[in-house]
Amino acid sequence: KFDGVPLPMDRGARDAHRAELGIDTDALVVVFGSTRPGDELRAIKIWRLLRVRLPDICLVIAPRHLDRIPEVVNLFSELVVLRSKIRNNATGESRQAIILDTHGELLSIYSIASVAVIGGSFDATIQGQNPIEPAAMGVPVVFGPHMRNFAGAAESLVASGAAVRVKDSGEMEQEVSNLLGDTQRRTRMGRRGEEVVAKNRGALDRTMEILDRLSLPKNSDRPRV
Protein backbone atom coordinates (compact mmCIF):
# COMPACT_ATOMS: atom_id res chain seq x y z
CA LYS A 1 0.00 0.00 0.00
CA PHE A 2 2.81 2.43 0.81
CA ASP A 3 4.57 1.63 -2.47
CA GLY A 4 1.39 2.13 -4.46
CA VAL A 5 0.97 5.86 -3.88
CA PRO A 6 2.89 8.62 -5.69
CA LEU A 7 4.87 11.44 -4.14
CA PRO A 8 2.98 14.61 -3.15
CA MET A 9 1.99 17.00 -5.92
CA ASP A 10 3.81 20.31 -6.07
CA ARG A 11 1.98 23.52 -5.24
CA GLY A 12 1.54 24.47 -8.88
CA ALA A 13 -0.20 21.20 -9.76
CA ARG A 14 -2.49 21.49 -6.74
CA ASP A 15 -3.45 25.07 -7.57
CA ALA A 16 -4.15 24.09 -11.17
CA HIS A 17 -6.39 21.23 -10.03
CA ARG A 18 -8.27 23.55 -7.68
CA ALA A 19 -8.78 26.06 -10.49
CA GLU A 20 -10.09 23.32 -12.76
CA LEU A 21 -12.67 22.35 -10.14
CA GLY A 22 -13.68 25.91 -9.33
CA ILE A 23 -12.10 25.97 -5.88
CA ASP A 24 -10.26 29.12 -4.83
CA THR A 25 -6.53 28.72 -4.20
CA ASP A 26 -6.79 29.67 -0.53
CA ALA A 27 -10.15 28.04 0.22
CA LEU A 28 -10.36 25.46 2.97
CA VAL A 29 -11.38 22.04 1.61
CA VAL A 30 -12.62 19.04 3.57
CA VAL A 31 -12.55 15.74 1.67
CA PHE A 32 -14.50 12.73 2.88
CA GLY A 33 -12.88 9.87 0.99
CA SER A 34 -14.23 6.42 0.11
CA THR A 35 -17.46 7.08 1.98
CA ARG A 36 -20.01 4.45 2.92
CA PRO A 37 -23.66 4.85 3.96
CA GLY A 38 -23.84 7.19 6.94
CA ASP A 39 -20.57 8.95 6.15
CA GLU A 40 -22.20 11.39 3.75
CA LEU A 41 -24.65 12.58 6.40
CA ARG A 42 -21.71 13.19 8.73
CA ALA A 43 -19.95 15.14 5.99
CA ILE A 44 -22.95 17.31 5.18
CA LYS A 45 -23.64 18.01 8.85
CA ILE A 46 -20.14 19.24 9.61
CA TRP A 47 -20.02 21.25 6.37
CA ARG A 48 -23.22 23.06 7.35
CA LEU A 49 -21.86 23.76 10.82
CA LEU A 50 -18.54 25.05 9.52
CA ARG A 51 -20.13 27.34 6.96
CA VAL A 52 -21.50 29.48 9.78
CA ARG A 53 -18.00 30.80 10.46
CA LEU A 54 -16.25 29.71 7.25
CA PRO A 55 -18.71 30.62 4.48
CA ASP A 56 -16.28 29.75 1.67
CA ILE A 57 -15.39 26.26 2.88
CA CYS A 58 -15.62 23.55 0.24
CA LEU A 59 -16.80 19.98 0.78
CA VAL A 60 -15.82 17.10 -1.48
CA ILE A 61 -17.43 13.69 -1.01
CA ALA A 62 -15.96 10.65 -2.77
CA PRO A 63 -18.29 7.65 -2.38
CA ARG A 64 -16.60 4.27 -2.34
CA HIS A 65 -19.17 2.85 -4.74
CA LEU A 66 -20.28 5.02 -7.65
CA ASP A 67 -23.67 3.34 -7.93
CA ARG A 68 -24.58 5.29 -4.76
CA ILE A 69 -24.12 8.69 -6.43
CA PRO A 70 -27.87 9.42 -6.86
CA GLU A 71 -28.46 8.49 -3.22
CA VAL A 72 -25.71 10.87 -2.08
CA VAL A 73 -26.93 13.74 -4.26
CA ASN A 74 -30.39 13.42 -2.75
CA LEU A 75 -28.99 14.03 0.73
CA PHE A 76 -28.25 17.65 -0.15
CA SER A 77 -30.71 20.52 -0.04
CA GLU A 78 -27.90 22.83 -1.22
CA LEU A 79 -26.47 23.13 -4.72
CA VAL A 80 -24.03 20.30 -5.38
CA VAL A 81 -22.11 19.48 -8.55
CA LEU A 82 -20.81 16.18 -9.91
CA ARG A 83 -17.11 16.07 -10.78
CA SER A 84 -17.96 14.63 -14.22
CA LYS A 85 -19.94 17.79 -15.04
CA ILE A 86 -16.97 20.09 -14.45
CA ARG A 87 -15.03 20.72 -17.63
CA ASN A 88 -12.02 22.87 -16.74
CA ASN A 89 -14.41 25.25 -14.97
CA ALA A 90 -15.21 27.03 -18.23
CA THR A 91 -17.74 29.28 -16.48
CA GLY A 92 -15.30 30.40 -13.79
CA GLU A 93 -17.88 29.42 -11.18
CA SER A 94 -16.82 28.98 -7.56
CA ARG A 95 -18.08 25.73 -6.06
CA GLN A 96 -18.60 24.66 -2.48
CA ALA A 97 -19.94 21.10 -2.68
CA ILE A 98 -18.61 18.51 -5.12
CA ILE A 99 -19.30 14.79 -5.41
CA LEU A 100 -16.57 12.71 -7.01
CA ASP A 101 -18.35 10.46 -9.51
CA THR A 102 -15.32 9.51 -11.61
CA HIS A 103 -12.75 6.72 -11.37
CA GLY A 104 -9.07 7.23 -10.63
CA GLU A 105 -9.17 10.78 -9.25
CA LEU A 106 -9.26 10.29 -5.50
CA LEU A 107 -5.53 10.94 -5.04
CA SER A 108 -5.82 14.19 -6.98
CA ILE A 109 -8.78 15.16 -4.84
CA TYR A 110 -6.87 14.37 -1.66
CA SER A 111 -4.03 16.57 -2.88
CA ILE A 112 -6.20 19.69 -2.69
CA ALA A 113 -7.64 18.90 0.75
CA SER A 114 -7.01 20.89 3.90
CA VAL A 115 -8.21 17.92 5.94
CA ALA A 116 -9.19 14.40 4.89
CA VAL A 117 -11.72 12.20 6.73
CA ILE A 118 -11.56 8.47 6.02
CA GLY A 119 -14.79 6.75 5.09
CA GLY A 120 -15.95 3.51 6.65
CA SER A 121 -14.05 4.23 9.85
CA PHE A 122 -17.16 4.93 11.94
CA ASP A 123 -18.77 1.60 11.11
CA ALA A 124 -17.64 -1.56 12.87
CA THR A 125 -18.95 -3.69 9.99
CA ILE A 126 -16.71 -1.91 7.45
CA GLN A 127 -13.52 -1.14 9.39
CA GLY A 128 -12.18 1.75 7.37
CA GLN A 129 -10.63 2.64 4.04
CA ASN A 130 -7.11 3.64 3.01
CA PRO A 131 -5.52 6.46 5.08
CA ILE A 132 -2.17 6.22 3.29
CA GLU A 133 -3.33 8.10 0.19
CA PRO A 134 -4.11 11.46 1.86
CA ALA A 135 -1.04 11.13 4.09
CA ALA A 136 1.12 10.67 0.98
CA MET A 137 -0.34 13.91 -0.36
CA GLY A 138 0.73 15.76 2.79
CA VAL A 139 -2.80 16.12 4.13
CA PRO A 140 -3.81 15.78 7.81
CA VAL A 141 -5.94 12.66 8.30
CA VAL A 142 -8.89 12.08 10.61
CA PHE A 143 -10.61 8.72 11.05
CA GLY A 144 -13.01 6.99 13.38
CA PRO A 145 -12.46 4.10 15.81
CA HIS A 146 -12.81 1.29 13.27
CA MET A 147 -9.71 0.91 11.07
CA ARG A 148 -8.95 -2.82 11.23
CA ASN A 149 -8.56 -3.06 7.42
CA PHE A 150 -5.59 -0.68 7.65
CA ALA A 151 -4.60 -1.19 11.28
CA GLY A 152 -0.83 -0.98 10.80
CA ALA A 153 -0.93 2.12 8.65
CA ALA A 154 -3.45 3.80 10.93
CA GLU A 155 -1.33 3.16 14.02
CA SER A 156 1.82 4.44 12.30
CA LEU A 157 0.11 7.64 11.21
CA VAL A 158 -1.38 8.30 14.65
CA ALA A 159 1.91 7.55 16.42
CA SER A 160 3.79 9.96 14.17
CA GLY A 161 1.26 12.75 14.62
CA ALA A 162 0.10 12.61 11.01
CA ALA A 163 -3.41 11.43 11.84
CA VAL A 164 -6.00 11.67 14.58
CA ARG A 165 -8.28 8.83 15.63
CA VAL A 166 -11.62 10.00 17.06
CA LYS A 167 -14.20 7.94 18.91
CA ASP A 168 -17.37 9.25 17.26
CA SER A 169 -18.93 11.84 14.93
CA GLY A 170 -18.97 14.51 17.62
CA GLU A 171 -15.23 14.22 18.19
CA MET A 172 -14.67 14.19 14.44
CA GLU A 173 -16.55 17.47 14.03
CA GLN A 174 -14.51 19.09 16.80
CA GLU A 175 -11.20 17.78 15.48
CA VAL A 176 -11.84 18.88 11.90
CA SER A 177 -12.94 22.30 13.11
CA ASN A 178 -9.80 22.64 15.24
CA LEU A 179 -7.54 21.63 12.36
CA LEU A 180 -9.12 24.08 9.96
CA GLY A 181 -8.37 26.85 12.43
CA ASP A 182 -4.71 25.90 12.89
CA THR A 183 -2.61 26.23 9.74
CA GLN A 184 0.65 25.37 11.46
CA ARG A 185 -0.73 22.15 12.90
CA ARG A 186 -2.10 21.12 9.51
CA THR A 187 1.28 21.76 7.92
CA ARG A 188 3.07 19.79 10.63
CA MET A 189 0.72 16.82 10.34
CA GLY A 190 1.00 16.84 6.56
CA ARG A 191 4.80 16.71 6.67
CA ARG A 192 4.74 13.86 9.16
CA GLY A 193 2.37 11.93 6.92
CA GLU A 194 4.75 12.30 3.99
CA GLU A 195 7.60 11.09 6.21
CA VAL A 196 5.68 8.00 7.32
CA VAL A 197 4.88 7.06 3.73
CA ALA A 198 8.47 7.64 2.58
CA LYS A 199 9.85 5.59 5.49
CA ASN A 200 7.63 2.63 4.68
CA ARG A 201 8.29 2.53 0.96
CA GLY A 202 10.38 -0.20 -0.62
CA ALA A 203 8.50 -3.31 0.52
CA LEU A 204 8.44 -4.72 -3.01
CA ASP A 205 12.18 -4.28 -3.48
CA ARG A 206 12.94 -5.85 -0.10
CA THR A 207 10.66 -8.80 -0.86
CA MET A 208 12.39 -9.41 -4.20
CA GLU A 209 15.80 -9.30 -2.51
CA ILE A 210 14.71 -11.94 0.01
CA LEU A 211 13.30 -14.13 -2.75
CA ASP A 212 16.56 -13.82 -4.69
CA ARG A 213 18.54 -14.99 -1.65
CA LEU A 214 16.21 -17.95 -1.19
CA SER A 215 16.36 -19.01 -4.82
CA LEU A 216 18.40 -22.13 -5.59
CA PRO A 217 21.35 -21.95 -8.00
CA LYS A 218 20.59 -23.36 -11.43
CA ASN A 219 23.11 -26.20 -10.95
CA SER A 220 22.10 -27.02 -7.38
CA ASP A 221 22.39 -30.69 -6.37
CA ARG A 222 19.67 -30.25 -3.80
CA PRO A 223 16.83 -32.64 -4.55
CA ARG A 224 13.62 -31.13 -5.80
CA VAL A 225 10.44 -31.63 -3.83
21-60 pLDDT, tens digit per residue, is 999 999 999 999 999 999 999 999 999 999 999 999 999 9
**pLDDT for residue 1 is more than 90:** no
Could you tell me which residues come within 8 angstroms of residue 8 by beta carbon, excluding any fewer than 6 positions away? 111, 136, 137, 138, 194
DSSP 11: H
Looking at residue 225, its pLDDT comes to 43
pLDDT band for 207, please (50, 70, 90 cuts): low
DSSP 93: -
> Are 109 and 61 within 8 A, CB to CB?
no
Comparing C-alpha atoms, which of 75, 86, 85 is closest to residue 32? 75
Share of the chain above pLDDT 90, in %: 78
Instruction: Give CA–CA dist 64/41, Å, rounded.
Output: 15
Comparing C-alpha atoms, which of 183, 190, 180 is closest to residue 47? 180
- How does pLDDT run across 130-151, given as a tens digit for each residue? 999 999 999 999 999 999 999 9
Instruction: Give CA–CA dist 104/202, Å, rounded.
Output: 23
